[in-house]
Structure 1
Amino acid sequence: MIPISLKKIASITNGLLYGKNIIIDNISINSKKIISNTLFIALQGNKFDAHIFIEEALQKGCTAIITNRKIISFISYIIVENTTIALGQIATWIRNIVDPKILAITGSCGKTSVKEMTASILKKQHHIIYTTNNENNHIGVPITLLRLKKTDKYGLIELGANNPGEIRYVSKISQPNIALINNIYYAHLKGFKSLLGISKEKSEILSYLKNKSTVIINLDSHHLSQWKKKIQNKKILYFSIEKKKKVISLLLILKFTQTKHLLLCIHHAEK
């Protein structure tokens, strides 16, 4: 992570800083994983409230806290309206300051395999960050981006979702330069109701693409017509098993990775 002051964090999150303005080197949402000079963010969800772990974070030696309420503390803290949103706002700021090339991957299946294979290739020649342990949701994606350093050239971000709106949110945070929709199949129907619902949700990865971005699409996916408006004026690359005659060469991906092996990775994952 790049160093950042509490004053800057308060500005990014529209928060109120209480205490001294110090420089933070690490951010954690886990009170058990506090290292030197760490800011602890007390996340609050429908079924949990990490504010109950603030005392533990203090005992572990955290340097500052982000909370959604006033607390009794001998260290600096920032009050924000929503600590989860604040986490995403900080991650977005770091993503834009470091400005690596971000390849975001989504799809009903195979996305983790493609991400892992791509990461194994890129890290041989470059400093990169990538999502680990399937941390592909509204918490895991910003946590991944917080790890960015000035030396990182690429970021591989896996985007997952169980309910509508989740892909759009993590796409807004990650702002991809390249977006890959691996496939659209029946998955998480409880949240999306239908294959069309899944297709619409996965296409939200296209909502916050950076300028001069590239979209990679599996032609064998369902409901491709739903994506037409979102991919206008974008560089589009296709891959397919069933529609081989329509597939466009993935030359831009070769340029992006500086290796031919990624083509084999994508093809293998689809098999």
Structure 2
Amino acid sequence: MIPMSLKKIANITNGLLFGKNIIINNISINTKEIIPNTLFIALKGKQFDAHFFIKEAIKKGCSAIITNRKIISCISYIIVEDTTIALGQIAACLRNIINPKILAITGSCGKTSVKEMTASILKKKHNIIYTINNQNNHIGVPITLLKLKKTDKYAVVELGTNNPGEIDYISKITQPNIALINNIYYSHLEGFKSLLGISKEKSEILSYLKNKGTVIINLDSHHLSQWTKKIKNKKIFYFSIKKKKKVIFLLLTLKFMQIKHVLLCIHHLVQ
């Protein structure tokens, strides 16, 4: 990430800074990954609370902390209302400062394969970041974006979801230049109840597409009618197995990306 002062981070997160306004070069949510000039964010979830590891983080050498409560500390810290939201706010700010071209990939299946193929092509000639493993949720996506450096031209970000509202949240942080919906299929029905619910959730990626953005859609997906308003006036590329006569085959020559080989592979992934 690019260096940031604690004062700037406090402004980004609507937080309250206690202690010195030092410069931070790294952000971590894991005490095992702390290096010099690291800001440790103590996340709190339903089944965990990293505030219990603040002493360990200080012992490991972190330079500052983001917390949701006052703490007794010999180092600077920022109090915010929600540390998870703060993580997303910092990531979104960094995304806008560096302003890389971002391809965001979602869908019921095949996301990781498409992400890996796309990244393997782009990194041959450019500095890029991309989602590692399955870090595609409300924590993993911000962590991915925090890796951005000034030299990075592109980011390939996988967006996953288990419950309604997650794609909306991480898409708002990501603000893609290209949005790919790989497919809509039977997965995570416990959270969405139906294919219609899944389609509505995945379509939220389109709500935060950058101006002059591009949409790539699988015509074989269920409930495409749910996306009509969101893709209006957008540049759209389609692919399909069943509707070959209606497909604009993916010979993309986008100025900032050449991903045609990856997208053609989707034909096999969705079978």
When normalised by structure 1's length, the TM-score is 0.97
Q: Percent identity?
A: 82
Shift of 1:256: 3.8
CA contact (8 A) 2:250 2:264 kept: no
CA distance in 2, matches of 1:217, 1:152: 26
Shift of 1:268: 3.7
CA contact (8 A) 2:6 2:24 kept: yes
Q: Secondary structure at the match of 1:207?
A: helix
2:59 is aligned to 59
CA contact (8 A) 2:184 2:221 kept: yes
2:198 is aligned to 198
Shift of 1:31: 1.3
CA distance in 2, matches of 1:175, 1:147: 16
Q: Aligned letter for 1:206?
A: L
1:109 is aligned to 109
Give CA deviations for 1:33-77 in whole Å, capped at 9, x if unaligned. 111110000001111110000000000000000000000000000
2:229 is aligned to 229
1:139 is aligned to 139
Q: Secondary structure at the match of 1:102?
A: strand
Alignment of 1:64-143 (within 5 A): 64-143=64-143
Q: Secondary structure at the match of 1:32?
A: helix
1:28 is aligned to 28
CA distance in 1, matches of 2:25, 2:186: 42
CA distance in 1, matches of 2:108, 2:256: 24
Shift of 1:146: 0.1
Give CA deviations for 1:189-238 in whole Å, capped at 9, x if unaligned. 00000010000000011111111001000000000001001111111110
CA 1:249–1:76: 2 relative to 1, 3 Å: same
CA contact (8 A) 2:44 2:83 kept: yes
Shift of 1:263: 3.6
Q: Secondary structure at the match of 1:180?
A: strand
Q: Aligned letter for 1:7?
A: K
CA contact (8 A) 2:252 2:258 kept: no
CA contact (8 A) 1:117 1:265 kept: no
Give CA deviations for 1:81-110 in whole Å, capped at 9, x if unaligned. 000000000000000000000000000000
CA 1:260–1:171: 2 relative to 1, 3 Å: closer
CA 1:78–1:253: 2 relative to 1, 3 Å: farther
Aligned residues: 271
Q: Aligned letter for 1:173?
A: I
Shift of 1:253: 5.2
Shift of 1:266: 3.1
Q: Aligned letter for 1:202?
A: K
CA contact (8 A) 1:106 1:159 kept: yes
Which runs of 5 or more residues in structure 2 are unaligned? none
CA 1:56–1:253: 2 relative to 1, 3 Å: farther
Which runs of 5 or more residues in structure 1 are unaligned? none
